[in-house]
Structure 1
Amino acid sequence: MKRKFVKVMFFGALALSTVTYVGCKDYDDDIDNLQTQIDANKASIVDLQKFVNEGKWVKSVEDVAGGFKITFDDGKFYSIINGTNGTNGTNGKDGKNGTVVTIGANNNWFFDGIDSGKSAVGLKGEDGKDGVNGKDGVNGKSPRISSTTGCWEVYNTETGKWDSTGIVANATIYITEVTGNPLIWKLYVRELKSDGTYAESSVTLPKAGSIVSMDAVSVDANAKLTLGSTITLYCGKNKY
């Protein structure tokens, strides 16, 4: 077991020594020098392998200047010397700077400060032709008030018919507060006249909870009173 261990250690040392030479730089003089050293070590390694094959075993491995010495059981020894360091290679020449491309004040391309005479701005294209005018659309129909229900109607372009909104238009009533007087309401009533137009009347009401309804009357030029419809008021709401 001791002999096998020493053999493994020996060949491992040889492998490490060989790696030293493989990493050398690719220069002719250095390569020739290293090749000479490798050939010398190779001859020594062959001799060592011969002794191993003859059953001789390594007695000791010791460091020496520039390498190590291997001694066999019969007293013979061989020295493996490390290769010398190669010389540094010469520095390569500096490469040329790349071309600097810029756009000048005249909007031309400049290469290393020299005007190329080529514009960096594309030419404006010609105006395209105007498109064909679309056909005039059909005039829309304004909302109207139904003569039978008194509700607002809107025209349905898909069916070609008037649709009722269900919103009564001939008696629209709304109430507002009076600016500067927090004690009263102002009630507005819009009534449909016979000519199809509307007349809007207003009345001021006190903010009293006791008023729940009122009757609307009209007075004509002959001072004749005409009783209108009864209006129910709901306290606390803005619209009725």
Structure 2
Amino acid sequence: MNKKFLSAILFGALMVSSTGTFVSCKDYDDDIDNINKELSTLKGDLSALQAKVNEGKWITSLAPTTGGFTVTFSDNTSYTITNGKDGAAGADAVKWEIGTDGFWYKNDVKTEYQAVGQAGEAGVAGVSPYIGENGNWFAYNTETKEVEDTGISAAGTSTYVVKNGDNYELHVYNQTTGNMSQSFFLLLLQQLL
């Protein structure tokens, strides 16, 4: 009889401990269901707003309300958006400074990083582009290490217009001669009538 009693106690203990496991799974299921419902609601709200945008609706007014504001669209529908709750106070930002010794200081503590570098050796002088005798731009080619004619005219193809009495005078750059020698007189429409 002792063995039957001991078996019954062990079986009872096993049942009591396993029921706690089944109950806690149900709690998680409820939490997951609540999250899914909230997510579905948010998706619906977002879809409704996206549909308004896709339909060509635009915001016509923003009006402050108690604890938020109301957005009114061109079709006279409106949505109220409430302000969020205040968050916890944030921490101060990191303060960086350059000390008199030339090193970075983080929150008044010297770091190993030097902010002011030492003077280096003088570099090689560069070659500036210039306009050659033929009127083209000459530039330094880093691959051949030589100055070369780019084939690009420095004069360009400028034109300008000047009002000369009752006429307009159009001046056009002549690439053959390299000056503004070509000019055309344009009559005003009222002179033709």
Give the number of the structure whose residues are more often helix, by fraction: 2
TM range (shorter): under 0.3
Q: TM-score, normalised by structure 2?
A: 0.23
Q: TM-score, normalised by structure 1?
A: 0.19
